[in-house]
Amino acid sequence: MREERGLSEAQPFQEAKCPGCGCERLVRDGSTGEVACPECGTVVADAECVPGFTPKPGRGSFAVMAQLGSGKPGYFEVLRYGGERYLRMVGRDGVDRTESNIATEVATIADRFKLPKAVEEEASYLAKRLLRAMREKKRKMTAAEIAAVTVWTACKLHGLPVTMDEYVRALGWADGRRRGAKSLLKLINKAESIMPLPKVAPDPKRYIPKFAARLSASGASQRYISALEAYSRMLCDAVADAVSGKDPVCIAVTALCVADEVLGGVIGKEKMLKLTGAGFSSAAAEAMKRRRPPIPKQLWDIYMHTHGRRATKAMARVLHANERR
């Protein structure tokens, strides 16, 4: 009775029966919404309502997700070996995905170099500024390129002694040293055209301890290497104005070579360049020899020990030169 009452109310005519055979047991097709006679098949009424949504086979899961999705981002936390956590967010827009990819690239580079947290945060901040400037100027750079440029800039801002050769090799860009460095320089110039990057004056003294540590394989005593490091810093300060703007890595190694020559030449120039893997500047070396400061009293015993029998005459020459200055 309930179905007949519902049909009679939905019918556009008074009597709910088939006009062909007079059957009063009319049925409604759920898929099409039509009212038809089960005896003769006559369609009594067209669709009374719009049929509900039926997902097609093969994409039912997507259809259900589209209907039941709340629009809020969902988080999936995956624990891998070593206790590392990877957080993946689903349901984000393009901006969030790009920022997340850049943050992942920055964290990856920071882990390779064991960078401090402050350097990683500085790189992330620069990456966000660069990404915002890219949208305004409609320029394109990949997430890996943005991370490479911003981490390198953050290392320079915080004074970390990371050479471009080491940085490019850690990124995996080095089919050759020159090719990798050239690629990084192109990216830095491209980023500079989008947004001016902060710069600091390079300080060669920051690289001296790093290269002095490699000289332990030369067989020289640690006391002598410490003396080289101390006197190299003094040489860099003496020629700071003359070497401004030059490669700080090359200047640092040149200062170590000149300091070794002044203090006795225990290691030698060729061996030192081979151990450090850096270049040598003849112009900077000449400037250091002209402006070299007096040997401090704390290094006199090292100087006399390395010169051996010639220590007395050598020290006399040094003292005479100090008096003249």
3-state DSSP of 178-213: HHHHHHHHHHHHHHHHHCCCCCCCCCHHHCHHHHHH
Q: Which residue has the tokens 């006197």?
A: 231
**Residue 122 DSSP label:** H
Question: Which residue, among 82, 16, 67, 72, has the nearest Cα to 44 in the 3D structure?
Answer: 16
How would residue 3 be classed by pLDDT, with cut points 50, 70 and 90? very low
* Three-state SS annotation for 238-307: HCCCCCCCCCHHHHHHHHHHHHHHHHCCCCCHHHHHHHHCCCCCHHHHHHHHHHCCCCCHHHHHHHHHHH
- The pLDDT value recorded for residue 33 is 62
Question: How far apart are alpha carbons 184 and 178 in whole angstroms?
Answer: 10
CA dihedral 56, 61, 67, 69 (to 10 degrees): -160
Question: How far apart are alpha carbons 104 and 147 in whole angstroms?
Answer: 9
Q: What confidence tens digit (pLDDT) does each residue in 28-71 have?
A: 665 666 777 777 777 776 655 544 444 444 444 443 444 444 44
Q: Does residue 253 have a pLDDT over 80?
A: yes
- The pLDDT value recorded for residue 66 is 40
How would residue 6 be classed by pLDDT, with cut points 50, 70 and 90? very low
How would residue 12 be classed by pLDDT, with cut points 50, 70 and 90? very low
**Region 205-231: what's the mean pLDDT?**
83
CA atoms within 13 A on the CB side of 239: 28
Q: Choose the weakest-confidence range: 158-162, 175-179, 223-227, 233-237.
A: 175-179
Sign of the CA dihedral 93, 96, 102, 107?
negative
Residue 40 φ/ψ region, left for φ over 0, alpha for ψ in the -120 to 50 degree band, beta for the rest: alpha
**Residue 81 DSSP label:** G
**Residue 57 DSSP label:** T
Q: Choose the weakest-confidence range: 106-110, 248-252, 267-271, 302-306.
A: 302-306
Fold of 2-45: N-terminal domain of TfIIb (2.20.25)
How would residue 150 be classed by pLDDT, with cut points 50, 70 and 90? very high
Q: What confidence tens digit (pLDDT) does each residue in 283-295 have?
A: 888 888 888 888 7
- The pLDDT value recorded for residue 263 is 80
How would residue 246 be classed by pLDDT, with cut points 50, 70 and 90? confident
- The pLDDT value recorded for residue 183 is 81
CATH top-level class of 94-194:
mainly alpha
Pair 228, 263: CB distance under 8 Å: yes
**Region 219-240: what's the mean pLDDT?**
84
Q: Write down the pTM of the prediction.
A: 0.54
Question: How far apart are alpha carbons 276 and 108 in whole angstroms?
Answer: 27
Mean pLDDT of the chain, nearest integer? 73
Q: Does residue 81 have a pLDDT over 50?
A: no
How would residue 138 be classed by pLDDT, with cut points 50, 70 and 90? confident
**Region 171-189: what's the mean pLDDT?**
70
Report the range out of 91-100, 126-135, 200-209, 267-276 with the highest average pLDDT.
126-135
Pair 166, 153: CB distance under 8 Å: no
Pair 12, 45: CB distance under 8 Å: yes
Pair 37, 23: CB distance under 8 Å: yes
Question: Which residue, among 232, 196, 198, has the nearest Cα to 212 in the 3D structure?
Answer: 232
Q: Does residue 23 have a pLDDT over 80?
A: no
SS3 89: strand
Q: Does residue 217 have a pLDDT over 50?
A: yes
